[in-house]
């Protein structure tokens, strides 16, 4: 074998090792990008899930009345609607808080034969956001000839509900952290940062019913006070913490 052939083989062998080294380097780089070993500490971190709770009581600021009236003619029910709406507005409730609808049904005798007469019904929804005004509305309804219950259903306005939810969330998270610190202490570990916070879609509301003015004695010209009490909100969140 001459020197020229030996030198050629050495060059080929050297190039082969260089190519193999480059392939191995590229393979290792791809493997690192795929497995992301620098994130192993994060993915293998231990966590604990702790439930935090909060309870808030607040007097309601929304009062909704649903009075109804009956009449024997379209003319009479229209006149009743006009008068009630006019009187309610005079108390201070604006158009946005007043909704009305009218329906009728045919009367039948005991044999099932139509009498040719109709009963007309006026249904109203009165939405009040002030307790003092709500009391005035209830007093008026008590002496207006309304049919059925005239006491309001009580609750909260949309803005108040948002405010309550924000407050309840803050308190529930604080409660979760306090419980997590206690749990970590009992386990002999250190509490780390918050990983996730899971909130319910809605929170429970337990209202205390207002007085039903429909039970007032016949002949009373005003209703008893609206005793809406307070509504209690129970709210909970689940917070996941890292532990070390």
Question: How do residues 44-97 score in pLDDT, each as one tens digit?
Answer: 479 999 999 999 999 999 999 999 999 999 999 999 999 999 999 999 999 999
160 and 236 housed in the same domain: yes
Residues 173 and 238 both lie in one domain: yes
Is residue 214 included in any domain, yes or no? Answer: no
Q: Which two tokens stand for residue 230?
A: 């307070």
**Do 113 and 228 have their domain in common?**
no
In a domain, 168, yes or no: yes
In a domain, 162, yes or no: yes
Clarify whether residues 140 and 205 are in a common domain: no
Do 142 and 163 belong to one domain? no
User: Is the per-residue pLDDT at 214 higher than 50?
Assistant: no
Domain of residue 19, residue span: 3-43
Q: Encoding tokens for residue 58?
A: 């607040």
Same domain, 67 and 151: yes
* Rounded Cα distance, 211 and 225, in Å: 7
Same domain, 183 and 163: yes
Provide mean pLDDT across the span 10-27: 63
Residue 183 within a domain: yes
Domain contains 176: yes
In whole angstroms, what is the distance from residue 60 CA to residue 241 CA? 36
* pLDDT score for 199: 87
Same domain, 117 and 146: yes
Q: Which long-range contacts (CB under 8 A, 24 or more apart) does 188-192 make?
A: 189/46, 189/243, 189/244, 190/243, 190/244, 191/241, 191/242, 191/243, 192/45, 192/241, 192/242, 192/243, 192/244
- The least confident of 113-117, 187-191, 206-210 is 206-210
Domain total of the chain: 3
Per-residue pLDDT, 9: 56
Same domain, 148 and 119: yes
Say which residues have a Cβ less than 8 Å from residue 200's Cβ, sequence separation at least 6. Answer: 235, 236, 237
The answer to whether residues 129 and 244 belong to one domain is: no
């Amino acid at each position: 074998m001459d020197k020229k052939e030996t030198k050629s083989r050495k060059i080929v062998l050297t190039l082969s090792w260089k190519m193999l080294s480059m392939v191995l380097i590229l393979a290792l780089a791809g493997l690192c990008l795929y497995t992301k070993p620098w994130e192993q500490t994060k993915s293998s971190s231990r966590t604990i899930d702790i439930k935090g709770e909060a309870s808030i009581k607040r007097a309601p600021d929304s009062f909704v009345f649903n009075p109804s009236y009956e009449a024997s003619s379209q003319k009479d029910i229209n006149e009743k609607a006009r008068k009630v709406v006019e009187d309610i507005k005079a108390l201070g409730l604006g158009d946005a808080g007043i909704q009305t609808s009218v329906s009728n049904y045919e009367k039948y005798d005991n044999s099932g034969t139509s009498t040719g007469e109709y009963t007309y019904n006026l249904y109203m929804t009165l939405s009040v956001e002030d307790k003092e005004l709500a009391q005035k509305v209830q007093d008026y309804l008590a002496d207006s000839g309304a049919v059925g219950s005239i006491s309001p259903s009580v609750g909260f306005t949309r803005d108040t509900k948002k405010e309550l939810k924000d407050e309840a969330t803050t308190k529930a998270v604080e409660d979760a952290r306090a419980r997590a610190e206690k749990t970590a202490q009992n386990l002999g570990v250190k509490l780390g940062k918050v990983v996730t916070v899971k909130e319910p879609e809605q929170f429970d509301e337990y209202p205390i019913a207002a007085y039903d003015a429909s039970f007032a004695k016949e002949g009373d010209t005003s209703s008893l006070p609206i005793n809406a009490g307070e509504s209690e909100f129970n709210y909970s969140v689940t917070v996941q913490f890292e532990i070390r």
